[in-house]
A and B are shown apart, each in its own frame.
Chain A
Amino acid sequence: MAGRIARSSTSILLHYLRNGYNGQLLSRISITVRRQLTTAKKLVAPGVSEAEAIDRAKGGDSECFELLYGLHKRRVYSLCLRMTGNTAEAEDLTQEAFLQLYRKIATFRGESAFSTWLHRLAVNVVLMHLRKKGLPEVSLEETLEPQQEDGPKKDIGARDNVLAGSIDRVNLERAIESLPPGYRIIFVLHDIEGYEHNEIAEMMGCSIGNSKSQLHKARMKLRDLLKTSRAEKAARR
């Protein structure tokens, strides 16, 4: 395990050296190393670390697989729920993600943290599902040229109070849920899950510029939604 961590950290550090100083990248290095060390040590049952549970699940041990499910179900489900905005769909996709995990866990080589690998698998399951439904392609194109009533409003000339300190987690979750699917997916992947634009572009089959543009529009739309919700709340008082 220590060897795997060293190999993975070395590859990230080489990337860092090739690309020069980047604060975000440095913080990712630290998070990756910390996660991998945690995976190696964390006990998921008496005397069983997560790394051991993974190894045993690779050999078909269903009880260890259940331990891994217990450990990761919340984050995988939340990812599915945020990406789809639908409870029933999110449960079906969580189920599908863990079934795929069971079938593919033997291919986990430990080059990234297990949770990173699993979440990438879950994202792919959700994207595949949305692609079958025809959602991302349609929404992606639609949101590139947003309809007047759907897209973020231009904010030229009007001044209002800033949002800082006025939104809570519940409001933000609700606003994210109300985003059009194309905006929501990119926002969840980038701002919540921490994927980079190049990773999103690869997963979504779009350009990096498209991913950046979608993210900006998503944040602008969220700002509108949060301001509207704040104004409605103030009017009710």
Chain B
Amino acid sequence: MKPGEENGGEEVMTCAEFQKVLPYIIETGGNAEEEAHLSACPVCSDLVQDLRYIAEQAKLLLPMRDPSPQVWDNIQDSLQREGLVKPARARGRLLGAIGKGSLSLVTAVVAALLVGS
């Protein structure tokens, strides 16, 4: 809509005026005058629809892909160089923890068999 254009005898908001306040309209919704422009102007209506569509589609984007294995190798190298990790000990602890779980499972199975018999 051009400046000075009228709608039912009343001067309405122009596209330039509407688009100047568009960021706020998209975020918080428009006032009555802005809503009136939006429903009367197909160009601004398409624009608002597109901007909302882009924002919606962006929210649906998922993480793309994994980094190369080199990244983990470099992390390990750095941590070892800095003396921050002791791989063998850590590995033992985790395996120990998993082992404890397995031992509990075996004990439970044996107990169940004994009770059953």
Contact = CB atoms under 8 A, between A and B. Distances in A.
A187 interface: yes
A137 interface: no
A46 interface: yes
A172 B57 contact: yes
A142 to B, nearest CB: 19
A60 B90 contact: yes
A194 B51 CA distance: 16
Nearest to A157: B43
A75 interface: yes
Nearest to A215: B23
A213 B64 contact: no
Interface string B35-73: 000000011001101110111011111111111101110
Given A77-B66, A192-B59, A216-B26, A163 B43 contact: no
Contacts, number: 146
B61 A91 contact: no
A154 interface: yes
Interface residues on A, range: 35 or more
A99 interface: yes
A111 to B, nearest CB: 24
Contacts of A162: 46, 49-50, 53
Contacts of A176: 58
A172 B58 contact: yes
A37 interface: no
B59 A194 contact: yes
Contacts of B74: 95
Given A60-B84, A63-B91, A69-B75, A156 B19 contact: yes
B54 A77 contact: no
Most A CB atoms within 10 A — which of B42, B58, B72, B85?
Answer: B58
A17 interface: no
B78 A63 contact: no
B111 interface: no
A163 B15 contact: no
Contacts of A226: 54
B41 to A, nearest CB: 10
A206 interface: no
A207 to B, nearest CB: 14
A55 B9 CA distance: 70
Contact of B27 (A48, A81, A172, A212): A212
Contacts of A90: 67
B67 A91 contact: yes
A66 to B, nearest CB: 8
Interface in B78-105: 78-79, 84-87, 90-91, 93-95, 97-98, 101
Nearest to A187: B58
17 contacts: A45-B94, A46-B98, A46-B101, A47-B97, A60-B84, A66-B72, A78-B62, A78-B63, A81-B64, A95-B78, A98-B71, A99-B75, A155-B47, A157-B15, A187-B58, A219-B55, A223-B50
Given A155-B43, A169-B61, 12 more contacts: A48-B97, A62-B87, A63-B95, A65-B85, A155-B19, A162-B49, A163-B50, A163-B54, A164-B49, A192-B59, A212-B24, A220-B51
